[in-house]
Amino acid sequence: MNKHRFLYWMRKDELAAIPFLAPSLLGFSLFFAVPFAMSVYYSFTDQVLNGTFVGLGNYKELLLSSSFRKAAGNTLLFTGISVPLLIALSLILALLLNQRIWLRNLLQTAIVLPLVVPVASIVMISQIFIDWNGVLNAWLHRIHLPRIDWLNSDGSMIIVAMIYVWKNVGYNMILFLAGLQTIPRSYYETALIEGTSGVRRFFGITLVYLTPTMFFVILISIVNSFKVFRETYLLAGPYPYDRIYMMQHYMNNMFFSLDIQKLTAAAVLMVGCMVMLVSVLLSIERKFRENME
């Protein structure tokens, strides 16, 4: 009887929650779910209006496109470089600020500050350093080295990666700090009594209990790495140097040229890759939790 009463109250609570969830569900359906479903449909047709089904023709043409392959390769390379760098730096800062150090609150505020700085301001500050007549080239000129056109060289991806790291390191650091503060201090005290070294404490306690937070931070960092279009667009325009020509540039240019089929096919492939990556990360994280239990 108690079980039936519990199920009754559960159903009652679910029905009561529907009016509160309806506006969010309506907005998600209207602005995300329905447009994406239409994009999937358009990616299998030869035109938007009165189009005929062409199967995987648009995807085959997309994969044969040198511009798409260049954009996809640059995006994967950028993610592979910037995400590990961001994770390592944010974890080091979190470990540092988790200690009782001088000016801890001031340092934490300074690191988090880029979160509230507009992207345009970040780009403007970056241009002060990387412009032809900027600070970096002034230093090179002072030591009798040639100036470098940073945005038109292979070092342009490093510039974008540095902007990405500077923008997101504060957020990741906060997440790591929250995870570190959930680890019981008694574990470290026991390890100290047993004479465990600092390296073993880090790998045996800190990283083990920080792994769920680590998976979440990696996931968020990967998603954010696919959103650097604003920075690169403001830095170098819609057709930047080849090394920083990203997937967002490709889709933006396809939109302006009204090549909706390539645009939607690229969007579906991008979403599919992200869903697969997220599924793999969540599967690994779930297995780790089961082993921990």
63/69 Cα distance (integer angstroms)? 7
Query: What per-residue confidence (pLDDT) applies to 90?
Result: 92
Cα-based angle 130, 135, 140 (whole degrees, multiple of 5): 95
86/243 Cα distance (integer angstroms)? 20
Distances (CA, A) of 71 to 75, 162, 273, 287: 6, 19, 14, 34
Question: For a pLDDT cut of 90, what percent of the chain falls above it?
Answer: 3
Residue 5: band (very low, low, confident or very high) from pLDDT cuts 50, 70, 90: low
- Per-residue pLDDT at 292 exceeds 80: no
Tell me how far the alpha carbon of residue 104 is from its chain's centroid.
Answer: 27
pLDDT digits (tens, 9 = 90+) for 189-237: 788 887 777 788 888 888 888 888 888 899 889 888 888 888 888 888 7
The answer to whether the CB of 245 falls within 8 A of the CB of 236 is no
Residue 6: band (very low, low, confident or very high) from pLDDT cuts 50, 70, 90: very low
Query: What per-residue confidence (pLDDT) applies to 29?
Result: 82
- Per-residue pLDDT at 288 exceeds 70: yes
What type of residue is 18? I
Question: For a pLDDT cut of 70, what percent of the chain falls above it?
Answer: 94
- Per-residue pLDDT at 7 exceeds 60: no
User: Whole-model pTM?
Assistant: 0.80
Greater model confidence, 288 or 37: 37
